[in-house]
Amino acid sequence: MATTAGVSRSDEWSTPTFWRELAPALRIEDIDFLSSLQLFSVDDPTRERLQGLMRKEGYFQLPPVGWNLPLEEMVALVAKLDAQGIPVPFAFLYDEFWALFIKLHQVIEPILGPGYMRMPDFWVWFVDPRRDDSGWKPHRDKTQPTLRADGSPTSLTVWLPLSDATTLNGCMYMVPADRDPTYNTPENGQWQFAHQDIRALPAEAGSILMWNQAVLHWGSHGSPRETRPRVSAAFEFQSADVPPYNSPLMAPNTVPGFAGRLALVGKQILQYQHMYPLAPEMREIATRLKDSATL
Which residues have C-beta within 8 Å of that of residue 21, sequence separation ≥ 6?
none
Residue 258 CB neighbour total at 10 angstroms = 15
14: left (phi over 0), alpha (psi -120 to 50) or beta: alpha
| Neighbour-count burial of 70, counting CB atoms closer than 10 A to its CB (0-12 exposed, 13-18 middle, 19+ buried) | middle
Nearer of residues 141 and 284 to ligand AKG, judged by Cβ? 141
- Each residue 228-267 as x (binds ligand AKG by CB under 6 A) or -, in order, gives ----x-x---------------------------------
Residues in 141-160 that interact with ligand AKG by CB under 6 A: 141, 157, 159
| Neighbour-count burial of 122, counting CB atoms closer than 10 A to its CB (0-12 exposed, 13-18 middle, 19+ buried) | buried
CB of 33 to Fe ion, least distance (A): 29
Q: Does residue 219 touch ligand AKG according to CB under 6 A?
A: yes
Closest-by-Cβ residue to Fe ion is 141
Closest-by-Cβ residue to ligand AKG is 219
96, 141, 180, 284: residue in contact with Fe ion (rule CB under 5 A): 141
Residue 30 CB neighbour total at 10 angstroms = 14
Nearer of residues 97 and 159 to ligand AKG, judged by Cβ? 159
CB 65 within 8 A of CB 208: yes
* Residues touching Fe ion, count (CB under 5 A): 1
Give the interface with Fe ion as residue ranges (CB under 5 A): 141
Give the interface with ligand AKG as residue ranges (CB under 6 A): 125, 135-136, 141, 157, 159, 217, 219, 232, 234
